[in-house]
Amino acid sequence: MHKLVILIEPLLDWTEFHERWPDFLRHAESMPGLLREATSQVEKSLFGERTVAWMHELYFASLADLQLALNSTDGQAAGRILHAITRDRLTLFVADCKEEDGETLRRYRAGT
């Protein structure tokens, strides 16, 4: 699985961001191959130099699916909106994502 991670720095004025965020979501959620997404408002930074206020993650089955989505009409529109509403105060990266479910963690803790 691969995901696109969007880290948004604190903005001087969040008004336009919150007004246009639904427009971004409409396009992002229409991208082909999107499996799921998650939005997080960062409450506290524990360590590091970069301050992040908002995080959004878009999950795809493969890197090829993610690239297809980004190059789609909706992907391009979502990107334009995102850059506009953040004034480019953001970081984007692609990650190869591995996840463990609760059952795997319980077996590990139990030593089985």
Task: Tell me the pLDDT band of 107, cut-offs 50, 70 and 90.
Answer: confident
- The predicted pLDDT at position 70 comes to 98
Of the ranges 42-46, 58-62, 108-112, which one carries the lowest mean pLDDT score?
Answer: 108-112
Averaged pLDDT for residues 71-98 = 96
CA–CA–CA angle 78, 49, 43 (5° rounding): 65
- The predicted pLDDT at position 58 comes to 98
Picking from 88, 24, 110, 34, the residue whose alpha carbon sits closest to that of residue 65 is: 34
Q: Where are the domains of the chain?
A: 2-110
Q: 2-110 has which CATH code?
A: 3.30.70.100
- Distance in angstroms (rounded) separating the CA atoms of residues 96 and 74: 22
Please tell me the pTM assigned to this model: 0.87
Mean predicted lDDT score pLDDT of the chain: 93
3-state secondary structure of 75: helix
Averaged pLDDT for residues 36-60 = 93
